[in-house]
Amino acid sequence: MREEFLIYGFDFDGTLCIHDYPRIGVPDEEMINIAKTLKNDGHKIIMITNREGKELQEAVLWCSSMGLTFDAVNDNLDEIKKAWGVNTRKIFVNKFVDDRAVHSEAFKLEHGRKGTLTQRIANLKDLVLIQGQDGNWDFDPYMLGMYNGMELALSVMEGRNPVYRNAPEHMKEKLA
């Protein structure tokens, strides 16, 4: 066992296979291979699922038929139980992989008090429009650089190529 390892929690339905509960869906081979690679690299993997009884047993057997065996199923690692002296109801993992999971930072972007990501991009677009008005962007090299920097940021957010502006004639004269 390596000294430093991470604990990964994997959901089953919709994560290791296409969601088809109570049946077992088509395997997500890419995900299964990632889990196997992590385990081979010395990390720990836990199956975390709502499945119980017969359905749970079927899922565990299905995984082992694909060469995927877990260090724990719906339970904390023995190492964690021993170290903490308690088996907490929330299973401890370093990373949780679940088709229904949303990262807390992504969740704040969509629901937080600073507005949605879409709203924030719209705010940036307004500022780029103001900076792009004549008398602003073409005032001096600093303001031109500011415009092009803002345009670069907006283009990244919008997933497109930036449309830069070149120095106007009067600025070129000053620079020459």
Binding site for Mg ion (CB under 5 A): 11, 13-14, 99
- Is the separation of the CB atoms in 80 and 71 below 8 Å? no
Q: How far is the CB of 96 from Mg ion (least distance, A)?
A: 11
Q: Which is nearer to Mg ion, 89 or 100 (CB)?
A: 100
The amino acid occupying position 88 is T
Beta bridge partners of 72: 46
Q: How far is the CB of 60 from Mg ion (least distance, A)?
A: 16
Q: Which is nearer to Mg ion, 7 or 59 (CB)?
A: 59
Q: Which is nearer to Mg ion, 13 or 151 (CB)?
A: 13
Q: How far is the CB of 91 from Mg ion (least distance, A)?
A: 15
Between 117-131 and 141-158, two packed helices, what is the crossing angle to 10 degrees? 150
| CA distance linking residue 40 with residue 135, whole number of Å | 62
Q: How far is the CB of 14 from Mg ion (least distance, A)?
A: 3
- Alpha-carbon distances, residue 12 vs 4, 20, 27, 54, 91 (angstroms): 26, 11, 10, 14, 15
Nearest residue to Mg ion, scored by beta-carbon proximity: 14
Q: Which is nearer to Mg ion, 101 or 171 (CB)?
A: 101
Beta bridge partners of 44: 7
Q: Which residues of 57-90 are buried (b: 16+ CB within 10 A; e: fewer)?
A: eebbeebeeeebebbbbbebbeebeeeeeeeeee
Residue 30: half-sphere exposure toward Cβ, Cα within 13 Å: 3
Q: Which is nearer to Mg ion, 11 or 151 (CB)?
A: 11
Q: Which is nearer to Mg ion, 15 or 76 (CB)?
A: 15
Q: How far is the CB of 11 from Mg ion (least distance, A)?
A: 4
Q: How far is the CB of 62 from Mg ion (least distance, A)?
A: 15
